[in-house]
Each structure stands twice: as structure tokens, then as C-alpha cells.
Chains A and B, each alone.
Chain A
Amino acid sequence: MVALQLRSVGAYHGRRLFVEGVTTPTMRSGEVVAVIGPNAAGKSTLFKRITGILKGPGEVVVDGARTKNTITYMPQDTAANAVLTVYESILLARKQGQSWGVSESDLRFIDGIMNALNITPIAFRDLGALSGGQRQLVSIAQALVREPEIMLMDEPTSALDLHRQVEVLAFMRQQARSKGMIVLIAIHDLNQALRFADTVLVIADGRMRACGDPRDVVTVEMLRDVYKVEARIERCSLDHAHVIVDGPTS
């Protein structure tokens, strides 16, 4: 059972301390955490700090990790012009730091992930020929084949249609539950965050504003303070909280 806690975590972007003082409750296996906040709030920077790509003060405490690929970060969608097929790009995510040989079990695992994400039909298409949405699905597959225990997903559904968004978020929640992963998802769609996340972490101007149960965190006051919008929060027919934005604060 893996657990993750951030203690006064900060991150340098260049020489500037871009994120600082992030302290969270302990996140546990099976938990889905939505990381929300305006553009340039520091969500990606925080993820890179947790992964170790960026340096900074504070402590990222991971307990109970079983493997060396404990934390995997899925960056925001970027177009790649490498002459590689989708299958090769997923294989190389799995084989980092390993020998040249590719075992049958590696390939079976990749097939399984691709099938689960419904991207088998594009397996042998070149990366450069993919749409933005297809690239995001491939990125999710690349992250999953590393068999992480903690997965940080930076806006994984921003280029997906509504159907795929719901599918992917439900899939990730099911993966978190069944594999005992902790999944942190940076996301702009607050309604999806309210629907799929167990915990919501709000970050703005490089500082954590709140972290906890979505119903306690996503409030009219928080939306006014962080997003500068007037909004209502209502229950939908499925009894999920739903944010309805009336307009920007005057």
C-alpha cells in the first residue's frame, strides 16, 4: 500500500521559486486526487517537483513503494515528430533503463494496455500522424506501461471528446482502485473533478489554497477567490455536485 505526502514542498523554475509551501494530507492507494487551479498556477511545476524533474525545498514522502518506477509523470500533450510507431513509443516507455531485448511478457502487457484504452487500431500508425486526442491516449498508455504506483497526469483529457474524457477518467479511477495506485490529475474541468476525484487539491499563484473532500473544497467562495468567477454549485440528477458559472466577478 503506497502513500504520498507533500511537506512544505516548493519548486524552482529556473532561479525562481515558482511553487512553495505545499503541504498535503497523506494520499493513499486507490485515491484519485484532482489538482485544480487557473492557468500558470503551478500545477505542472508541482508535478515535476514530485517526480524529481525539478528541484526545490520541502519533502516528497513516499511510503510503502514496491517498485523502482514508483512515480510516473504524464506531461501535457505535445506533438512529437519522431519517426516511431505508436507501439514503438509505448514499448520504449516500458523499456527505459533496461536491456535491448524485448520479452513476450513486455509485449503482452503493452497489448493489454492498448486494448484497454481502445488504441489498438492505431498501434502501427506513426506518431506524427495522430490527432491531439489520440496523442493523449498514447501518453496515458506510455505512463501505464511503466506500472507506476503513483501516477501524475497533467491535463490528460484536454484534447479528448466528451465521451473519451468520461471513459478515460472512469478508467483511471478503476485502475487506481484495482492496482492500488495513487492518481493525481491536473484538470481544468471542475465538474469532471467533482465527479471522479476523491480529493481535490487547489493551487493558485504557486501556493496550495485547499486540499480535501471535493464538496468541502469546491465552494462558491473558492471559485470567486481562485478563479474570479461568480458560480453556483448544484446537485445534478446523479447527485453529483455541479458547478454552474454565471460569469466573471465584477
Chain B
Amino acid sequence: MTEIAAVPMEAGRTKYRALARRKLLILAAMTAALCLSFAVDLAWGPARYALSDVAAALFDPASVSPQIRAVVWDIRMPVAIMAIVVGAALSVAGAQMQTILANPLASPFTLGISAAASFGAALAIVTSVPLLPVAAGMLVPANAFIMALVATLFIHFVSQARGVSVQTVVLLGIALVFTFNALLAFLQYLASEQALSAVVFWTMGSLTKATWPKIWMTLAVLLIALPLFARNAWALTAIRLGEDKAASFGVNVRRIRLETMLVISLLAAIPVSFVGTIGFVGLVGPHIARMILGEDQRFFLPGSILSGALLLSLTSIVSKSIIPGVVFPIGIITALVGVPFFFSLILSNRSRSW
């Protein structure tokens, strides 16, 4: 072995710089794809507009007809933005769950948070029992949020107990899924026909519930979470090398896990309570980002945001394109759009998956 000082080597840092540049280009391409998808989402619907009309409605509203302006801004814009914001939030929540629990199956859906939210929503729809003192219009999302938060905090506190492995936490999450699904089935069994159809529709997940206050709230949670994750980027990446290794780098693993889990609880609970169960994004969004960009959080974090946002934005387009005039619940379409894409990525890039 040689002396460290006597090193003329250049290949390593040159190649590293090239790979980092490549990852930035991929992120730029994903951003461009998301912008395009957003524009198409605004253009497509029962009435289809040219992208030029959409651009005009966005940047020079006075130049388009009031009808186009109203459709783009008042009807399609909240849905299109909600798709992006919810996709980003669920994907980031899934990414950080997978990171701190060291488990590729971790996501708001697989850990029972979505199931808990569904139960909360069903409780509101079937029994009208409020878990929070809110206006009648907010009863369903409020109940869904409380139950989602309860599930996340339960997982969080169990994971903090000494001697509990991350595998145990994931198993507990799966147990929560079954528990809340059973409770949901119980409520459905008792529900009136009208309430039952409302519960079923809610659990399918739908962006048509999007409103500006819901968008702002989801965005606010995202804007609180992202700086924290960004600040802990090196530490979160180190946690993926194992608890001992991260601790050996000086990372306070327990503190980072606690902070991250608390933020995830909001990040997962808020969007699910607004749009219902959208299972696939939080699981697959991070895997797509991981396969394309690796797990250096400086790239993985924005990659997860963009992959989740893009996935849900594309799904939003597909959900209203299958049968003209009909908008399918996005929870159904997400899996149908995402699965083939995900399979193709796994099969073409096996060595870079978990």
C-alpha cells in the first residue's frame, strides 16, 4: 500500500463529477417531463385544448376566452396541482420511511397509514362521529387525518422502544393494515347503501376532492418537511449503511429517526386525508428514484419528489382519458399506470434496485 500523499490519481474525482452532472441532468429532465405532464393535465378533459391555449391561459389569461380561462384555472388547475403536490408528498414520505426503517416495503400504504385514514373517513361518512371539532364539510378529511396520525404515531412510538427491530416495525404496520381493513369492513357492513358507496369511492382515492385550501395545507407540510430532510441529507444516506456504521460517522441515529418519523407522520397523513387511498405512489416513487439516481439523498430526495409528482400527474391524465367525460378514481389508475413502468425498470436495472 502506498503513502496517501503521493497520489496523482484523477480518475476517481473526474468520474464522480461526471456522474453527479449526469444525475443533475436526469433531475432536470424529470422536471421538464413534470412541466409537460402538468400542461397536458390542464389541456385534457371533456374539452381538449391545444397546449398553446393552455400556455396562453396561464401566462396571458386575457388573451383566451372566459370559458377556457375558467376551465383551466378553476376546474383543472386545482386537480393538476393536487396531483403533483400529493404525489410528491407521498413519495417523499415513502422514501424516508424506507430509509429509516431500512425496508423496501415501507410506505404510507403498507404501514397501515392509508388504511387508518380510510377507516377514519368511513367513520365520518357512516356514523358522522367527529374526532375533531370541525365544520361538517371537513369532517371526512379531519377524521381521516386523525386516524392516519394515530397510526403513524403508533408505529413511531413502537419503533422507538428499545430492542424493537425495523423488521418488527414493518410487521406491525402490516398488522395495522389488516386491523383497519377489518374495522372498515365492519363499518361498511353496517352502512346504508348511500354511505357504503361514498366510503367505497373515498377509499379508491380521487383528486376531484381537490380545493385550494387543501393544496396549500399539503404544500405547507411539504415545505416544512423538505428543509429538514435536506439538512439531514448526509445523515439519512448514512443510515442506509446500517445503524452501527451511521453512528460510527457521528450520526445520532435515534434523533434523526425520531425527527424524520414525526415529519413523515404529517407528510403521509395530510394528503391521504384529502384525496383518499392512493397506495402505489409512496411505495414505487422512491424505488424509481433509487434505481435512476441511487440513494445519495442530495439526488434521491429531489428524485423522489419528482418521480412521485410525475407518476401522479401522468395518472391524472390517464384517469380522464380512458373514457371521454369520465374521471376514474386515481387510486385505481395509479397502479395500472405504475406497475408496467415499474416492472420494466426493475427488469432493466436489477442491480440498482434494493
Binding site for B on A (CB under 8 A): 14, 48, 51, 53, 69, 72-76, 78, 80-85, 87-89, 91-93, 95-98, 100, 102, 104, 107-108, 110-118, 120, 123-124, 126-129, 139, 142-144, 146, 167-168, 170-171, 174-175, 178
Contact = CB atoms under 8 A, between A and B. Distances in A.
17 contacts: A51-B248, A80-B240, A80-B241, A83-B294, A83-B295, A87-B15, A88-B296, A92-B249, A98-B234, A110-B12, A111-B7, A111-B13, A112-B9, A114-B12, A120-B12, A126-B351, A167-B1
Contact of B16 (A91, A115, A146): A91
Contacts of A48: 247
Contact of B15 (A76, A124, A139, A143): A124
A175 B2 CA distance: 11
Contacts of A92: 234, 237-238, 249, 296
A100 B1 CA distance: 31
Given A84-B240, A91-B16, A123-B12, A14 B3 contact: no
A116 B1 CA distance: 5
A146 B251 CA distance: 13
A80 to B, nearest CB: 5
Contact of A85 (B233, B247, B294): B294
Contact of B13 (A53, A95, A98, A107): A107
Given A51-B248, A98-B234, A110-B13, 11 more contacts: A74-B248, A82-B237, A83-B291, A84-B241, A87-B15, A93-B249, A96-B238, A107-B12, A120-B9, A168-B1, A175-B4
B291 to A, nearest CB: 7
Interface residues of B, number: 44
B245 interface: yes
Contact of A116 (B4, B10, B16, B20): B4
A176 to B, nearest CB: 13
Contacts of A87: 12, 15-16
A73 B16 CA distance: 26
A130 B145 CA distance: 44
Nearest to B247: A53
A80 B242 contact: yes
Contacts of A97: 234-235, 250
Nearest to B14: A107
Interface of B: 1-5, 7, 9-13, 15-17, 19-20, 162-163, 230, 233-235, 237-238, 240-242, 244-245, 247-251, 290-291, 294-296, 298, 351-354
Given A126-B352, A143-B248, A115 B2 contact: yes
B36 to A, nearest CB: 27
B245 A80 contact: yes
Nearest to A128: B351
Contacts of B7: 108, 111-112, 115-116
Given A80-B241, A88-B296, A96 B12 contact: no
B241 A89 contact: yes
A129 B350 CA distance: 12
B81 to A, nearest CB: 28
Nearest to B253: A53
A87 B294 CA distance: 12
Q: Which of A80, A96, A98, A126 has the most CB of B within 10 A?
A: A96
A171 B1 contact: yes
Given A14-B162, A95-B234, A83 B245 contact: no
A14 B7 CA distance: 45
B353 A83 contact: yes
Contacts of A81: 354
Contacts of B249: 92-93, 96, 142, 146
Contact of B19 (A111, A118, A124): A124
B91 to A, nearest CB: 16
Contact of B248 (A75, A80, A127, A167): A75
B242 A112 contact: no
Given A88-B294, A126-B351, A111 B248 contact: no
B335 to A, nearest CB: 23
A100 B17 CA distance: 14
Nearest to B7: A112
Q: Which of B19, B230, B250 has the most CB of A within 10 A?
A: B250
Q: Which of B4, B10, B247 has the most CB of A within 10 A?
A: B4
